[in-house]
A and B are shown apart, each in its own frame.
Chain A
């Protein structure tokens, strides 16, 4: 009886020990910098013990509550891909972008841009729950205030048409840049078809 109890206790200790060990092995905090569209940014990892900068793809630093971030090491991309796959696959896919053009002083689309509307509808439906941002722009004909309003009307007109075609994005942003961000720079008061546009981003 007592021996049996002792055995159980011993087994219990072994199990605890194994848990503690595996816990230690898994309980390592780290940051790995990844490439993004061929560019690499920068992450600074700082705690009370020190600071490290990651600025090359596949660099890794390890840190702990009382452990300063380690000197970055360069990882082999293939060796870590499997470990990272669960978070990488859950990241939202990159967006699709569309550019629509308008006739002078109009919120209707040009005949060339009109066929893009069903394409936008298609991607909104494929990407549900979707996010859309519509940025309205104008050429430089007219005042700042007038064009700010026209840009907003263009953005809102596109949104209204997309909604009337049965789409219902969860997040919607409509913005007007008026004549402040032309695609093609021109002198003031210049009609320019390429600047009368709406930039659409669907996530």
Chain B
């Protein structure tokens, strides 16, 4: 009886805990368009990236050969990935009312386009794109980059 109660209590804690984690994890953006084959890796799971796929911090987005992908982040940053591109949303904080904004993207390889959103406007030094060949500091702008480590 006592043991059942303890198990029930633990189970409740676990359910409450995971519900809390879900709430804390708000979307960072979505896949706006896809051509060809593209995937999102999250917590060791690999899922096809389809139009409307909601993205979270930590997601790794990869495109296949001849694939391309359009991404819109919550702060209105627009991204596009060309073929054979591997990118991860390392950090995305957009709480402008609390003065908390910042973004770190990691591009391991590939070809991408970028148009900055509100984070770069609010805090120009808080946007960084890390790659194996260089770090890009972005001050409100539009650019393309090819990363071939």
B61 near A: Cβ within 8 Å? no
Indicate if the CB atoms of B133 and A170 lie closer than 8 Å. Answer: no
B144–chain A nearest beta-carbon distance, Å: 5
CB neighbours of B134 from chain A (8 A): 29, 31, 45-47, 63, 69
Report if A44-B148 is in contact (Cβ < 8 Å); known contacts: A86-B82, A131-B72: no
Which chain B residues (55-83) contact chain A, with CB distance < 8 Å?
Answer: 68-72, 74, 76, 78-83
Indicate if the CB atoms of B52 and A129 lie closer than 8 Å. Answer: yes
A43 near B: Cβ within 8 Å? yes
Interface residues on A, range: 35 or more
CB neighbours of A102 from chain B (8 A): none
**Which of B2-10, B11-19, B107-115 lies at the binding interface?**
B107-115
Report if A171-B111 is in contact (Cβ < 8 Å); known contacts: A29-B146, A43-B141, A131-B30: no
Complex-state Cα separation, A40 to B78, whole angstroms:
16
Over the window 66-102 of chain A, the binary record of Cβ atoms lying under 8 Å from chain B Cβ atoms (1 yes, 0 no) is: 0101000000000000001011111110010000000
Q: Which of B76, B112, B131, B141 contacts A87 (CB 8 A)?
A: B112
Indicate if the CB atoms of A87 and B143 lie closer than 8 Å. Answer: no
A38–chain B nearest beta-carbon distance, Å: 11
CB neighbours of A30 from chain B (8 A): 145-146
B137 near A: Cβ within 8 Å? yes
Complex-state Cα separation, A69 to B131, whole angstroms:
13
- Chain B: CB-nearest residue to A90: B80
- Chain A: CB-nearest residue to B113: A87
Q: Name B's interface SS.
A: strand
B90–chain A nearest beta-carbon distance, Å: 17
B123 near A: Cβ within 8 Å? no
A128 near B: Cβ within 8 Å? yes
Indicate if the CB atoms of B80 and A43 lie closer than 8 Å. Answer: no
Indicate if the CB atoms of B141 and A171 lie closer than 8 Å. Answer: no
CB neighbours of A171 from chain B (8 A): 27, 29-30, 54, 72, 74
CB neighbours of A42 from chain B (8 A): 139-141
Max count, chain A CB within 10 A of own CB: residue among B52, B111, B144:
B144
Indicate if the CB atoms of A28 and B148 lie closer than 8 Å. Answer: yes
Indicate if the CB atoms of B145 and A31 lie closer than 8 Å. Answer: yes
Max count, chain B CB within 10 A of own CB: residue among A44, A54, A91, A131:
A91
Report if A95-B76 is in contact (Cβ < 8 Å); known contacts: A34-B142, A90-B35: yes
Q: Which of A44, A65, A86 contacts B83 (CB 8 A)?
A: A86
Indicate if the CB atoms of B35 and A34 lie closer than 8 Å. Answer: no
A199–chain B nearest beta-carbon distance, Å: 13
Indicate if the CB atoms of A31 and B139 lie closer than 8 Å. Answer: no
Q: Which residues of B contact A (CB under 8 A)?
A: 27, 29-33, 35, 51-52, 54, 68-72, 74, 76, 78-83, 97, 111-113, 115-116, 120, 131-149
24 contacts between A and B (CB under 8 A): A28-B148, A29-B148, A30-B145, A31-B134, A32-B145, A43-B141, A45-B135, A45-B136, A46-B135, A69-B134, A86-B111, A87-B81, A87-B144, A88-B113, A90-B33, A90-B70, A91-B70, A91-B78, A91-B79, A128-B52, A131-B72, A133-B76, A171-B27, A175-B97
